[in-house]
Amino acid sequence: EVQLLESGGDLVQPGGSLRLSCAASGFTFSSSAMSWVRQAPGKGLEWVSSISNSGGTTYYADSVKGRFTISRVNSKSTLYLQMHSLRAEDTALYYCAKDQVAAAGPPFDYWGQGTLVTVSS
């Protein structure tokens, strides 16, 4: 059974930093691209970033480019999202999602339960 378990969400002040983690199990992690998707309270889904199975290719939404960094450690089956210069508009539930194929891109066939990031003073 595929499982994606996010962690690291917290209350952080504007301008602060946070690192999210996603522990994966139930599939060959190194064979799948992975992504982060967020959802602000009461709002729709917003793609944040994707990374290829090897980690060699990454993609970012314009809204986070230069502030967020996606990475992965295949030996640990873990995906990360390092977030800097956080803003109030980054407040959201952050989902980890498994891409269906090795190259980054939709569809996302499995999703975690999400970890909540709140940016507020």
Partner 1 sequence: SYELTQPPSVSVSPGQTASITCSGDKLGDKYACWYQQKPGQSPVLVIYQDNKRPSGIPERFSGSNSGNTATLTISGTQAMDEADYYCQAWDSNTVIFGGGTKLTVL
Quote the least distance from Cβ 110 to partner 1, whole Å: 8
Three-state secondary structure of 4-50: EEEECCCEECCCCCEEEEEEEECCCHHHCCEEEEEECCCCCEEEEEE
Which range of residues in 15-23, 57-65, 71-79, 82-90 is near partner 1 by CB under 8 A? 57-65
Closest by CA to 33, choosing from 86, 97, 88, is 97
Quote the least distance from Cβ 5 to partner 1, whole Å: 12
Q: What residues have CB less than 8 Å from 56, skipping those under 6 apart?
A: none
Indicate the residue among 66 and 107 with the shorter CB distance to partner 1.
107
Pairing mode, if any, of strands 34-39 and 92-99?
A: antiparallel
Q: Using the 8-state DSSP alphabet, how is residue 119 labeled?
A: E
| Residues from 26 through 55 that contact partner 1 (CB under 8 A) | 35, 37, 44-47, 50
Please report whether residue 59 would count as binding partner 1 according to CB under 8 A: yes
Indicate the residue among 63 and 82 with the shorter CB distance to partner 1.
63
Residues at the contact surface with partner 1, assessed by CB under 8 A: 35, 37, 44-47, 50, 59, 61-62, 95, 100, 105-109, 111-114
